[in-house]
Amino acid sequence: MYLEPNYAAFGPHFGKPGYADMTRSSTRRILLFSGAGFLLLLIIIVVLILSFDFNRLKPYINQRVSEATGRVFEIRGDLRLDWRRVQDEDGWHAWIPWPRPSAQDVMMSNPDWSKTGPQMITLKKAAVSFNPWPLLTKKLVLHELDVDGLAVNLERTTDGKNNWTFKQNEQEKDASSAWTYELGKVVLRNSTLRYLDPNIKLDLKANAQTIDDADPKGYGLQFTAGGTYHGAPISGSGKTGGILSLKDKDTVFPVQGDLHIGKNAISVDGSVTQPTAVTAIDLKLALSGSSMSNLYPLTGVLLPDTPPYATKGRLIGHLNANGSDWTYEKFTGTVGKSDLSGTLEYKVQKPRPLLRGALVSNQLRLEDLAPTVKADSNAEKKKNRDEGAKAVQPADKALPVEQFSTEHWGALDADIKFTGRKIVRDEALPIDDLFTELHMKDKVLTLTPLNFGVAGGNLTSNVSLDGRADKIQAQIKTAARGLKVKQLFPTLETMQASIGEVNADASLSGSGNSIAAMMASSNGELKAAVTEGTVSKFILEAAGLNIPNAVFSKLFGDKQVQMNCMANDFDIKNGLMQTKYFVLDTTDAVVTINGTINLSTEVMDLDVRPKTKGLRIISLRTPLYVRGTFKNPDIGLHKGAIAAKTAGAIALGSMAPLAAIIPLINPGRTEEVDCKRLLADYREKPQAPPPGKKKPD
């Protein structure tokens, strides 16, 4: 079936001449009116925007932000919208102005528990310009953020709370957003930051502002800092990379600064990789201060008391989820007047961090070691005298009384090797070098071994200091091997021709928090022996007061006397050293020593009794005594024996002049010394009871 089209439906003019032109004209009119309407609408919108008072939006914005954060947020000053062309845009985009909203006098409150004040953030003025076109693709492109007078107070509490975590942070943590953003430039002017953290006892205050000129090293921010750390004042200044470099996870963030924290000066110059979640640090680090022990609050690393120090080296840090490793690599420096170099590694681990490494001193002054054993150096003594300060060490005490503090011994474990290649010391001290391995584990400090090169031989010790109790429990085992007799007395001319070697062993235990206290409570044994040597005859003659021979030896030369043996054994109970025996046997004489040395009172009471093996005429040979204290010894003659001999000579001389010499003749009868037995006894190692326990009778 065929249907006839209804052309009338297209209008009365359809199909007639001029119909197409008329249609095109109508379309143009429609488009023209539509374009004019859209332009008019756009103009109206622009006029409304330009004339709109954006301050009317402040209540809405304040309410929405306050509800979202759970804090009081308020724009107190002017809120406005300006339009600016961006000069670095190309083409027609450069002619389109970009919106630049700005706000003045902005604040956000702190939580009620905060101690940094009522406001977490205050802002004098902030303005941001952004590209409106990317908004159509859900991308916010911020061209420039200009901030003036920003003050931020950040705070952490002892129970882990902080004031920068807001109410909805946790809810939004896993929420994904289709929006992205890009930040072009940040300008900070007159900005301040305060960070308060009682967990690490830090109260830091810093002023920061953007560096206007482009820096060739990439620095974009400069700062000054102040405050306190563990009660010590902080001051300093420095530069870091720009804020924009924080957004790039692969960026190398430059850091340079000089800080003073308490008595320590710190200088850094280097870089941080991925600063928003630090993974690597590489810095040139210089440290200096009055004592390395002052670094503990700063680093958490327990170091001994030292004279003033200064070091510089390379600090390398690697951080990950399981902990971190820090290396102070190939550093050099000085401690007092001694040099120091080496590498230290600090590893964060459970249950305690570990400090390990190796240190070397090519020129080690013995005086610079004094503070590590709580002994005053000569410089410290002079300083105390000059300043009128009361000395910790009593004038009449030789053993150091200053207390060791074990409070921080449990802060870390340690494995440190230390080598002192050459010891600079007083001429009378025959110490040449030093090597030790220091170990700290669970508040137990050990030096295994502690080796000294002494008088051409070695003094090897194993020391254990257990700091887990209120009083340090101390144990020491010492062995001296091959000490040369003449080198033991380097300043005594008459000993320089002597030969022979000293070997000794000691085992001691004690308790206390100072060297003096440990020795005062010590128990144990001390043994020593010398074999197959010679000793100065003058020393023996002078000790025996054989005056003519002593004078002769001094005038016409000394000779060496063959030493058969020398051996001693001291028994030590509760700090009192008692001689079991002390015998020196030579071809000419036997010298015995008996008595006590009190390590608690530092008082000596020894008798020295020389006996000749040959006939001596005109000899005042008589016992000597060694008394007094360690600081003020009193060495002299037993006057009673001399008086008896002198009185006898005078009495006999009154009857017959030749008889006067009879009391002065020494017939030289003495018992033989069993050197073999003494040396065999020496070879039985000395023993000591556990610390805190008395030695059995």
State how beta strands 119-131 and 79-84 pair.
unpaired
Assign 561 a pLDDT band (cuts: 50, 70, 90). Answer: low
pTM over 0.75: no
Same domain flag for 587 and 512? yes
pLDDT digits (tens, 9 = 90+) for 642-659: 444 444 443 434 444 434
Same domain flag for 566 and 638? yes
Please report whether residue 126 resides in a domain.
no
**Looking at residue 553, what is its pLDDT?**
46
Same domain flag for 475 and 599? yes
SS3 content of the chain, % helix, strand, coil (to 5): 25, 45, 30
The DSSP-derived string for 201-229 is TEEEEEEEEE--SPPTT-EEEEEEEEEEE
* 606 three-class SS: strand
**Overall average pLDDT of the 500-520 stretch:** 89
Say how many C-beta atoms besides its own lie within 10 A of residue 486's C-beta: 21
Same domain flag for 567 and 676? yes
Q: Partners of 241 in the beta sheet?
A: 219
Please report whether residue 144 resides in a domain.
no
pLDDT digits (tens, 9 = 90+) for 610-620: 777 654 444 44
Higher pLDDT, 447 or 39: 447
**Looking at residue 97, what is its pLDDT?**
77
Same domain flag for 428 and 518? no
Name the maximum alpha-carbon separation found in the chain. Answer: 187
Same domain flag for 351 and 426? yes
Same domain flag for 474 and 434? no
Structural domain containing residue 506: 466-682
Please report whether residue 263 resides in a domain.
no
Please report whether residue 273 resides in a domain.
no
Q: How many CA atoms lie within 13 A of 307 on its CB side?
A: 23
Contact 154, 162 (CB under 8 A): yes
* 240 three-class SS: strand
Same domain flag for 297 and 334? yes
Please report whether residue 125 resides in a domain.
no
Please report whether residue 537 resides in a domain.
yes
**Overall average pLDDT of the 580-584 stretch:** 88
Assign 438 a pLDDT band (cuts: 50, 70, 90). Answer: very high
Same domain flag for 558 and 646? yes
Please report whether residue 228 resides in a domain.
no
Residue entry with tokens 């009185």: 647
- pLDDT(14) > 80: no
* 294 three-class SS: helix
Same domain flag for 567 and 621? yes
Please report whether residue 159 resides in a domain.
no
pLDDT digits (tens, 9 = 90+) for 76-119: 999 988 887 766 655 555 667 788 889 999 999 999 899 988 99
**Overall average pLDDT of the 377-387 stretch:** 48
Structural domain count, the chain: 2
Same domain flag for 417 and 520? no
